[in-house]
Amino acid sequence: MNLSQVLLSALKAHGAREVFGIPGDFALPFFREIESSGILPLYTLSHEPGVGFAADASARIRSTLSVAAVTYGAGALNMVNPVAGAYAEKSPVVVISGAPGKGESSAGLLLHHQAKTLDSQFAIYQEITCDQARLTDARTAPAEIARVLASCLRESRPVYIELPRDMVAEPCEPVVALGEPVVDDAALDACADEILARLAAAERPVLMAGVEVRRFDLEAQVAALARQLGIPVVTSILGRGLLAGHDAPLAGTYLGVAGAESVTAMVEDSDALLMLGVLVSDTNFGVSARQIDLRKAIVACDSEVTLGYHTYTHLPLGRVVRRLLERAPSARQVPTLPPPSYPHGMVADDAPIVPGDIARGINDLMARHGVMPIAADMGDCMFTAMDIAHQALVAPGYYATMGFGVPAGLGLQAATGERPLILVGDGAFQMTGWELGNCSRFGWDPIVLVFNNRSWEMLRTFQPESSFNDLSHWDFAGMAKGLGGDGLRVETRAELAAALEHAVATRGRFQLIDVSIPRGELSPTLKRFVEGVKRLSAPGAR
């Protein structure tokens, strides 16, 4: 085999099911190998941010690694933001960048696509990936690939592989995958016993499931642990939708002052908050009604477990959860909690549409026609998604970048074969919505809801005096046909209900519903979030 075939075979063996990419002259030989080998299908998109977001969504929905292949310089540096978002939100994307060959790097010329030095790109990616390799020697390449792919899966973070174009066809030995990391069994026992003792001594223990529970595919085990411990479970905003399909005493999603009061009180009153795979971030805890005393919490994330003032290291979450299951006593009873409630029954009348109507309309649609995986962009569409019952949601809930929604929806359909629902604001659609033009090539047919409030509305809620948040009324529906899909602008709830039904019934072409929303109308969750942030940031509030 040659180095490209070895790399592609190793990617597939480690869980990759496709390559998203855009070639360039430094990557053309590798793309030729991707296409000729047929080891993984190749989906090319139009702009590298879209490549990164699509690969990120594929990794999230399949809970394993995915691949984003780009050219050197202009391509790879165009993708820095999506990879940074994948790093922040623990999504295991493998970035493969073409690069100048050995001879041209030493020719003494400044090369096209070169920014500062030929090491600059590698240095930039060191900041947003957990491991890196430059495949400049076919003899060491298999071990380098094994190391980097093992890091990607172990840490559930992006990694970076630089592949000089004169190396792609070099003969190369296959990759031998590294085994599971060795874990100190005694430390694992001590940690599990300390956690169990802390929970047993508590009067109001609560389990919070976060993003790592999904990334490491631990939902069933965490649901079993909650039942065995007999304690209620909540999810963080990034863990939204976790455990929904499992038998777990699930109370809902913790959103601080922006969420259900019963869930907020349960978390903030807890005297033993067991946080499994939760990022301790401002979006998760920045709007806490009362500051959570983390010294009373148990935080298991990033292969560490912190209790009070001490930390156990090198204990992967999956091993901690399994050891807790082995050593936890069976609870006498499991709390019976009312399932989280979600709004249904949108009135299909001539009233204008507000974000809350969209959540109702989608919940009604899914109750009638079955659930769809959902990709949401940053903006009020993401806060609206908090009121949508279905659980398979990918969204930039912590890193909060715009542009994620449409490409992520395409990544979902490529990865799962299921038709996705995409929620995106007009501002975010202006960034990456054009990737819809690639649907017809690959047979993708998402349903896209554009929250068209002619505004950067989230920003206006924080700074209403600025008129630069006003956007003009782009006719996204009118542009759909030119992109190969169908578009419809809707102004009333009756039109929205009819458009959703028509979209579900129409397959084979993307269906874009351009939803006109009066400027200033917010989802209930965003409204509470903004009020909470303003209240909590007022002088003397905490």
Rg (CA), the chain: 24
- Pick from 124, 40, 132, 49: nearest CA to 86: 49
With CB under 6 A as the contact rule, the residue among 428, 480, 483, 497 that binds ligand S1T is 428
Site for Mg ion in 434-453 (CB under 5 A): 453
Judged by CB under 6 A, the stretch of 101-109, 289-297, 330-338, 423-431 that binds ligand S1T is: 423-431
Judged by CB under 5 A, the stretch of 9-17, 185-193, 349-357, 422-430 that binds Mg ion is: 422-430
Reading across the β-sheet that carries 66-70, which strands appear in turn? 42-44, 19-22, 66-70, 93-99, 159-164, 132-134
CA angle at residue 112 from 109 to 115, to 5 degrees? 90
Which structure tokens are listed for 238? 């990034």
426 binds Mg ion (CB under 5 A): yes
With CB under 6 A as the contact rule, the residue among 132, 151, 156, 401 that binds ligand S1T is 401
- Pick from 178, 180, 181, 177: nearest CA to 10: 177
Residue 284: helix, strand or coil by DSSP?
helix
Which structure tokens are listed for 539? 């002088």
CB of 77 to ligand S1T, least distance (A): 15
Q: Which is nearer to Mg ion, 264 or 469 (CB)?
A: 469
Site for ligand S1T in 437-456 (CB under 6 A): 451, 453, 455-456
402 binds ligand S1T (CB under 6 A): yes
Which structure tokens are listed for 460? 């206006």
CB of 517 to Mg ion, least distance (A): 8
455 binds Mg ion (CB under 5 A): yes
380, interface contact from Mg ion, ligand S1T, none, CB < 5-8 Å by kind: ligand S1T
Q: Which is nearer to ligand S1T, 131 or 457 (CB)?
A: 457
Residue 131: helix, strand or coil by DSSP?
coil
With CB under 6 A as the contact rule, the residue among 48, 162, 380, 514 that binds ligand S1T is 380
Judged by CB under 6 A, the stretch of 37-45, 169-177, 227-235, 377-385 that binds ligand S1T is: 377-385
409 binds ligand S1T (CB under 6 A): no
Q: Which is nearer to Mg ion, 342 or 474 (CB)?
A: 474
CB of 400 to ligand S1T, least distance (A): 5
CA angle at residue 348 from 346 to 350, to 5 degrees? 125
Q: Which is nearer to Mg ion, 274 or 490 (CB)?
A: 490
65 by Cβ neighbours in 10 Å (0-12 / 13-18 / 19+) ranks as buried
Q: Which is nearer to ligand S1T, 85 or 241 (CB)?
A: 85
82, interface contact from ligand S1T, Mg ion, none, CB < 5-8 Å by kind: none
With CB under 6 A as the contact rule, the residue among 458, 479, 500, 504 that binds ligand S1T is 458
Dihedral angle computed from the Cα positions of residues 40, 42, 47 and 49, in that order, rounded to the nearest 10 degrees:
-20
CB of 473 to ligand S1T, least distance (A): 12
Q: Using a CB cutoff of 8 Å and minimum separation of 24, what contacts does 392-396 make?
A: 392/61, 392/241, 393/240, 393/241, 394/56, 394/57, 394/60, 394/61, 395/240, 396/85, 396/89
Which structure tokens are listed for 518? 């009066």
Question: What does residue 301 show for φ and ψ, rounded to 5 degrees?
Answer: -160, 155
Measured distance CA(345)–CA(363) in Å, rounded: 8
With CB under 6 A as the contact rule, the residue among 272, 358, 400, 479 that binds ligand S1T is 400
CB of 472 to Mg ion, least distance (A): 11
CB of 99 to Mg ion, least distance (A): 39
85 binds ligand S1T (CB under 6 A): no
CB of 81 to ligand S1T, least distance (A): 6
CB of 399 to ligand S1T, least distance (A): 9
Which structure tokens are listed for 83? 């990879």
With CB under 6 A as the contact rule, the residue among 98, 277, 427, 433 that binds ligand S1T is 427
Judged by CB under 5 A, the stretch of 20-28, 292-300, 311-319, 418-426 that binds Mg ion is: 418-426
405 binds Mg ion (CB under 5 A): no
Cβ partners under 8 Å of residue 186, min gap 6: none
Instruction: Provide the annotated binding site for Mg(2+).
Output: 426, 453
**Sign of the CA dihedral running 445, 57, 234, 462:** negative
DSSP string, 371-387: ---EEE-SSHHHHHHTT
Question: What does residue 352 show for φ and ψ, rounded to 5 degrees?
Answer: -65, 165
Q: Which is nearer to ligand S1T, 15 or 355 (CB)?
A: 355
Measured distance CA(453)–CA(442) in Å, rounded: 31
405 binds ligand S1T (CB under 6 A): no
- Residues forming contacts to ligand S1T in the complex (CB under 6 A) are 378-381, 400-403, 425-428, 451, 453, 455-459
Contacts with Mg ion by CB under 5 A lie at: 425-427, 453, 455, 457
